[in-house]
Amino acid sequence: MTVRVAVVGAGVSGLTGAYDLRRLLGDETRIDVFCADEAPGGILASATVGGRSLDVGAEAFIVRRPEARDLVIELGLGGDIVAPGALRPAVWSGGALHHLPSPALMGIPATPAALGGLVDDAQRRIVASEEDRPLEWTPGADVAVGDLVADRFGEVVVARAVDPMLGGVYSARARDLGLREAIPALAAALDAGAPSLTAAVGDVLSRPTGTGPVFGALRGGYRMLVDALVDAARADLHVGAVVRGVHRVGARYDLDVAGHDGADGLTGSGATGYGATGYDATGYDATGYDAVLVAVPVWTAGSLLGSAAPDAGAAFSGVDAAGSAVVAFAVDGETPQHSGVLVASDAADLSIKAITFSSRKWPHLAGAGGRSVLRASFGRLGKPVVDTDDDLVAAATADLRTVFGAAGLAAPDVVEAAVQRWPTGLPHYRPGHLAAMAAGVASLPAGIAVAGSGYRGVGVPACIGTARDAAATLAAHVNALT
C-alpha cells in the first residue's frame, strides 16, 4: 500500500517538513500539503512597492544558527545569502534618535554608560548600584524579563532599552515575555550563580559569539526559499484548504478538511505558479494517513488536535497571539543613516513600533536613482492593529516625517505604500511557555508531530528546526509501520 502522509500548513515549517518527509520517505510516498491560504509561504510573504519586491513578513534569519543557513545551502541557494551593511538601528525616545544600548544583551545594559542618552543620571546611578543589592534567584525559576529588569534597573530601562529590542522579535513587551523563553542564556547564567543582573549580563556577553554577520537574507527575498521548498518537496499542495480536525482511526488519521471559506463542498480558488491544486472538498479523500505533521500556528494546532491528542490540544490552545501589521513603502529622497528605528514603549509621539530602512540595512536593496524601500510596523501583544489600511499608511507616513525631521532630513516623498496585516503573527512566549509546550509535544500520539513558531522560538531557524525534527520522528514512525 502507498504510504500517505499529510502536512497541515504551508509556511516555512510545513514546507520544510514536507521537503524532509520527501527526502526521508522517497518518491513512492504520497505527501499532501494543506494550506488555508491561497498561496504557500505563510509569514514568508512579499509585496511590490515602487517596482521593487520587499519581504513584508520575515525578512532575515540568524546565520550564526545552523538551521536556516544549512537548509538554504542544501537547497542550492547558498550563493544567494546576503549580509546586512554596517549601519545599526537607532532607538526613538524623548523625541530624538539615540544609539542602540551597547554593550547590552537584548537591550539589557552591561554598564550604565551603555545606555548613552536614553536615560538620565539618576537612572544611570540605579544601574550602577545594581551589583551592590542582593539578588534573590531560584535556579530553574522563570520570570518576566520586564519584571526582572524593572526590579534591578528601573522601568525606564525596560521601556527605552529592552522593550524596543524584544518588541522587534516577539511583538510583545518585556513584561509579557519569559526570561527563559526570550533570553535563555541569561536565565542559565543566573541559574549558575551570577550574583547580580549586571554580572549575569557580563557573563553572557563575555562568551564567544562566532564571527561574521549575525543575520543574513536571501537576495531575492524569502520567496526564493518558499519556491525552492515547494519544488523540492514534490508534494500535492492543496491551497484554500482549511483543516478543521485530525481524528485517530485505528493506527491511522483522518483529516476534516473544508474549502477556503469554511463551507463544506466549496472549491478553493487555487494558486497558480506553484503547481498547486485548489482544494475541492467534494471529491477528495483526506482519510487514512499514516502520519500527520501539524505545522499551523500553535493555537490552531491546539484546536485541530483536540480529538486525537487532547492533552497537547489543551496545552497548545492556551497560547495567545500577538498581531502586527507592516506597511511597505517606496520613497524618493534620502533616508536616515541607520538600518532602522526601534521605538521606546514609553514614546507617545509615534504610533509605529519600528522602521526598517531596508535600502540602508541591506546593500542588495540599495536604492537606485534616489528611490528607497522601507517598512514600518505596528502592533504589540494586547494592542491589536484595528485601523484601516488608509489610516495605517497615514499614521506611518506622519511618523516617518517626524523621524526624518529629527534626523535633519526632508519629509520622504512617498511613491507607493502597501499594507500587510498579520493579525495572529506571533505566539506569546510568557514565563513557563517552553515547559508547557514541551509537555504538550511529549504527549502527542505516535504518528502525529507538530512544527512551527510556537514551540522552541519564533524565528525562522527555530521553525525549521522543529520541522526537521518532526519530519524525522514521523519518518521513523512510518518506517516502523512498513
Ligand X SMILES: Cc1cc2nc3c(=O)[nH]c(=O)nc-3n(C[C@H](O)[C@H](O)[C@H](O)COP(=O)(O)OP(=O)(O)OC[C@H]3O[C@@H](n4cnc5c(N)ncnc54)[C@H](O)[C@@H]3O)c2cc1C
Where does this chain bind ligand X (CB under 6 A)? 8-14, 34-37, 42-44, 57-61, 241-243, 295-297, 300, 324, 326, 422, 425-426, 452-453, 458-460, 463
Q: At what angle do helices 12-25 and 223-233 cross, to 10 degrees?
A: 30
CB of 295 to ligand X, least distance (A): 6
CB of 301 to ligand X, least distance (A): 9
CB of 170 to ligand X, least distance (A): 9
* Among 66, 10, 76, residue whose Cα is nearest residue 38: 10
Beta bridge partners of 255: 246
CB of 44 to ligand X, least distance (A): 6
Name all contacts of 269-274 with Cβ < 8 Å and 24+ positions apart. 269/38, 269/239, 269/240, 270/38, 270/239, 270/240, 271/38, 271/39, 271/40, 271/239, 274/39, 274/40, 274/227, 274/230, 274/237, 274/239
> Judged by CB, which is closer to ligand X: 297, or 440?
297
Is residue 296 within 8 A of residue 43, CB to CB? The reply is no
CB of 379 to ligand X, least distance (A): 9
Is residue 5 within 8 A of residue 32, CB to CB? The reply is yes
> Judged by CB, which is closer to ligand X: 110, or 271?
271
Per DSSP, the three-state class of 310 is helix
Grid cell of 294 as nine digits: 501539524
> Judged by CB, which is closer to ligand X: 289, or 422?
422
> Judged by CB, which is closer to ligand X: 54, or 118?
54
CB of 140 to ligand X, least distance (A): 27
> Judged by CB, which is closer to ligand X: 21, or 115?
21
CA dist 92 → 97, 101, 223, 301 (Å): 5, 12, 31, 37
Grid cell of 341 as nine digits: 528605528
CB of 157 to ligand X, least distance (A): 25
* Among 89, 112, 109, residue whose Cα is nearest residue 101: 109
> Judged by CB, which is closer to ligand X: 171, or 372?
171
* Among 213, 218, 169, residue whose Cα is nearest residue 68: 218
> Judged by CB, which is closer to ligand X: 60, or 156?
60
